[in-house]
Amino acid sequence: MSMGQRLACQFPEMRAVLGATDATLRDDGVSISRTIYPEPSFAKDGASASEAALTRTDVAQPALGAISLGMWRVLERFGVRADAFAGHSYGELVALCAAGRYDAETLLRLSRLRGRLMADCDDGGGAMLAVKASAADVEAMLRDEQLDVVLANRNGPAQVVLSGERARIASAAEACKRRGWGCAALRVSGAFHS
């Protein structure tokens, strides 16, 4: 929640992208901007509902697309130009849009479709775990512990993401902790990239 809030308060480019997102996806009955920036509430349920919505991939992907594209529009305002664009996983769609391969409306519609398709594949039993360790060390741990999970992402030299059934990811987290590795469950609705 509150992704890019300062940019949204200060830059019309960010607000324009958020408005376009709400207009493009209004037939869903979900306001992406209201989900990212819920109205203040004294009830814990109000914030919790927005947080829960943002963990659903069918909501998270258009939200991430809107924020990412809004940030790019703010950078363009200051004259930033790129020679190349790259994205990781869902970020590939945003990179293609920023590179001019398709327009913002297409990005938002693709984001919604991708999110829906991924949500339709989710049975609720999957989870993901970020691990502060090298891919080689994590692969060795998975072999040693005989854990049936997927090394789904290599985010950097010392961070990977595991994906799999919820109980198996919990076992992987325990194995990581025994080795003194930092790890954190990702707030996602499925075992993506597995």
Does residue 46 register a pLDDT over 60? no
> Can you read off the two tokens belonging to residue 53?
């919505």
What is the Cα gyration radius of the chain?
18
Q: Distance between CA atoms of 83 and 99, rounded to whole angstroms?
A: 9
Cβ–Cβ < 8 Å for 118, 97: no
pLDDT band, very low/low/confident/very high, at 187 (cuts 50, 70, 90): confident
Q: Which one of 3.20.20.80, 2.120.10.70, 3.40.50.2300, 3.30.70.250 gives the CATH number of domain 126-185?
A: 3.30.70.250
pLDDT, averaged across the chain: 90
Average pLDDT over residues 52-74: 89
pLDDT at 45: 62
Cα separation, 152 vs 9, whole angstroms? 36
User: CATH topology of 5-121 equal to that of 126-185?
Assistant: no
Structure confidence at residue 1 as a pLDDT band (50, 70, 90): low
pTM: 0.78
Quickly name the fold that domain 5-121 has.
Answer: Malonyl-Coenzyme A Acyl Carrier Protein; domain 2 (3.40.366)
Q: Hey, what amino acid is at 127? A: A
